[in-house]
Amino acid sequence: MNCTAVDLFCGIGGLTHGIQKAGINVVAGIDIDSTCKYAYEENNNAAFINKGIENITAEEINSLYPADSIKILMGCAPCQPFSNYSLRYIKDGHKDNKWKLLYYFLNLVENTNPNIVSMENVPQLSKEVVFNDFVTKLKNLGYSVSWSIVNCANYGVPQNRKRLVLLASRFGNINIIPPIYNKDNYLTVGDLIKALPPLEDGSVCKKDQLHRTSKLSKTNKHRIKQSIPGGTWADWDEKLRLPCHMKSTGKGYGAVYGRMEWNKPSPTITTQFYGYGNGRFGHPEQNRAISLREGALLQSFPVDYKFIDDNNPQTNKQIGIHIGNAVPVELGNAIGISIKIHLEGGIKNGEQDNS
């Protein structure tokens, strides 16, 4: 089939890579962050367009599609404004300007008139007015719409990561494919990272520059030595505990400073996964946080995916943001397969249709 996709908010190309893996042509990715250009173009057969969604026109996007192509417009708007953390702890989180990006996305759908629309985001978004507006507008424009909350582990991502996946089509009902994996055969942390060379904290693997780790403070070295896979800070000596742990509210943060477990998927990989104190990001055995390479593998990026531009070195923080913000490649692949099956005849036994 002659179908072509454009990826809004493309980042370093997790969604693009997955969609291309499914056999769909992606001609371009659009993102405001210029530091994503190297990884996006180095790993994907697509052009990187450095523009914010509010500054790109429908005419520019339509010019990217070949004549007579089935047009797919897809993207994952920055999810921080919709996360539980932002809505719960950041004052006036609902006023974050990033909320507007979904309306810009919707405006581009209306004016580019794609045949297929795909949108991925955090589950919390489904409870917000902007999402209801998004769905309602798509239906008013004549699209069949389905959406569901999926666990990425069900689609070959070694990570417990819940995401909202929306699909819309002008050709009729469309759904994401049924789960490929289940709790009995999920890919695990051990499956992906156990064979990597061991590292000390604050070191870099000589054979793989992305396999690098953050330096731990003296106190955190003591903490991680007393941490057990799947355990909490309650496993530490009391002198190592933080003041917040002594409060009743601190009991709800057992995953912070925790170790991952070999035989389970990882927790959600965030933009700060390389820091031991930012979540359950401790290595299951070694006394350090997981490396940038390990985070990338847990996001289902292939081992040969290139992140480091030797001509423009980036910090661990920048690369961590790139990896943590990405759509997991295998989730992108599942979305791509879903679109292909739909275009080849449709399915009726996918995830629940909430239209």
What CATH number does residue 319 fall under?
Answer: 3.90.120.10
**Each residue of 101-119: b (16+ CB within 10 Å) or e?**
bbbbbbebbeebebbbbbb
What number is the average pLDDT over the span 245-274? 83
Q: Are residues 177 and 227 in the same domain?
A: no
- Residue 345 to residue 337: CA distance in whole angstroms: 12
Q: Are residues 102 and 210 in the same domain?
A: no
Domain that holds residue 107: 3-182+327-343
- Residue 290 to residue 278: CA distance in whole angstroms: 11
Q: Are residues 172 and 74 in the same domain?
A: yes
pLDDT score of 100 more than 90: no
254: closest CA among 231, 238, 271?
231
In a domain, 354, yes or no: no
> Which 3 state secondary structure label does DSSP give 253?
coil
Bridge-based pairing of strands 70-75 and 116-121 is parallel
In a domain, 349, yes or no: no
Helices 100-112 + 129-140 axis angle, to 10: 10
What per-residue confidence (pLDDT) applies to 234?
A: 85
In a domain, 355, yes or no: no
Q: Per residue in 214-229, pLDDT tens?
A: 999 999 999 999 999 9
Residue corresponding to tokens 């523009």:
51
Q: Per residue in 280-318, pLDDT tens?
A: 999 999 999 999 999 999 999 999 999 999 999 899 999
Residue 176 in contact with residue 351, Cβ under 8 Å? Answer: yes
Decide which of 252 and 15 is more confident. 15
- Residue 231 to residue 84: CA distance in whole angstroms: 23
Q: Are residues 168 and 147 in the same domain?
A: yes
Q: Are residues 117 and 243 in the same domain?
A: no
Least confident of 16-25, 89-98, 210-219: 89-98
The count of domains in the chain is 2
Q: Are residues 158 and 124 in the same domain?
A: yes
pLDDT score of 23 more than 90: yes
Q: Are residues 63 and 150 in the same domain?
A: yes
- Residue 1 to residue 237: CA distance in whole angstroms: 62
Q: Are residues 271 and 331 in the same domain?
A: no
With a pLDDT cut of 90, the percent of the chain lying above it is 81
- Residue 133 to residue 127: CA distance in whole angstroms: 11
What number is the average pLDDT over the span 267-274? 96
Among the listed residues 10, 76, 79, 152, the single catalytic one is: 79
Q: Are residues 137 and 224 in the same domain?
A: no
Q: How confident is the model at residue 88 (pLDDT cuts 50, 70, 90)?
A: very low
In a domain, 150, yes or no: yes
Question: Is 79 one of the catalytic residues?
Answer: yes
- Residue 146 to residue 157: CA distance in whole angstroms: 22
What per-residue confidence (pLDDT) applies to 80?
A: 56
